[in-house]
Amino acid sequence: MAGACLTRAALVLCACAAFACDRPAGEDHAEVVVPSARAQAPTRIATRDLPADARRVVAIGDVHGDLAAGLTALRTAGLIDGQQRWSGGDTVMIQVGDLLDRGDGEAELMDLFERLRDEAPFAGGEVHLLLGNHELMNAAGDLRYVTRGGFEQFARTPPHPTHEADVRRAPQLAHGRLRAFLPGGPYALRLATYGLTYRSGDAVFVHGGVLPEHWSELAGMEREAQAWLRDEGRVPSGVALHPDSPLWTRRYSVRPDARVCAEVGRSLDGAGLRRMIVAHTVQDDGITAYCGGRVIAIDCGMSSHYGGPVEVIELRAGRARVLSARGAPRALPEVVAD
Please write down the HEC assignment for all residues of 223-258.
HHHHHHHCCCCCCCHHHHCCCCCCCCCCCCCCCCCH
- Is 134 one of the catalytic residues? yes
Q: Quick check: 27 pLDDT over 50? A: no
> Are 132 and 279 contacting, i.e. CB atoms less than 8 angstroms apart?
yes
What is the predicted pLDDT for the residue at 237? 82
Percent of the chain with pLDDT over 90: 79
Residue ranges and CATH numbers for the domains of the chain are 10-19+48-331 (3.60.21.10)
What is the predicted pLDDT for the residue at 240? 80
Kindly list the distances between the CA atom of residue 231 and the CA atoms of 98, 269, 276, in Å, as whole numbers in the listed order: 21, 36, 31
Instruction: Report which of residues 148 and 11 the model is more confident about.
Output: 148
Give the β-pairing of 92-95 and 57-60.
parallel
227-277 pLDDT, tens digit per residue, is 999 999 998 888 887 899 999 999 999 999 999 999 999 999 999 999 999
What is the predicted pLDDT for the residue at 5? 56
Q: Quick check: 20 pLDDT over 50? A: no
269-299 pLDDT, tens digit per residue, is 999 999 999 999 999 999 999 999 999 999 9
What is the predicted pLDDT for the residue at 51? 55
Q: Quick check: 147 pLDDT over 70? A: yes
Of these residues, 64, 134, 207, 280, which one is catalytic? Answer: 134
Q: Which helix (H) or strand (E) holds 324?
A: strand 319-324
- Sign of the Cα torsion 66, 192, 6, 216 reads negative
188-202 pLDDT, tens digit per residue, is 999 999 999 999 999
Q: Name the pTM for this structure.
A: 0.88
> Are 49 and 127 contacting, i.e. CB atoms less than 8 angstroms apart?
no
Confidence of residue 174 (pLDDT cuts 50, 70, 90): very high
What is the predicted pLDDT for the residue at 2? 60
What is the predicted pLDDT for the residue at 43? 46
